Amino acid sequence: MHSHARYVFIHSLAFVILGLVLVFLLLWGIDSRIIYPTFQHLENLRAVEDADRVQSAIQSEVESLGSLANDWANWDDTYIFAQDFNQSYLDSNYPDPLL
């Protein structure tokens, strides 16, 4: 009887191990086929949103710098005019109203 009990124990242990392996394989399959691709898709969407925000911020800064550079260029022309009273400044900034 001792050998029969041992056989039953080993047989039961084998079924438990086989059951655990099947459960782990099932969980791995669910993770690799459903959960991981879903998280990967969400992460990709988040990366695209972040890239769009960065692109918008850079575009806004470029526009701001362009406006600032234009303002400074106008002031540079005015400072030069204040120093030498050049006619080209008057021609470009105050066109003849009779034309």
- Whether pTM exceeds 0.85: no
CA dihedral 86, 92, 96, 97 (to 10 degrees): -140
The predicted pLDDT at position 81 comes to: 75
Q: How confident is the model at residue 98 (pLDDT cuts 50, 70, 90)?
A: low
Say whether pLDDT at 1 is over 60.
no
Phi-psi region of 85 (alpha: psi -120 to 50; beta: other; left: phi over 0): left
The tens digit of pLDDT for each residue in 21-59 reads: 999 999 999 888 888 898 999 999 999 999 999 999 999
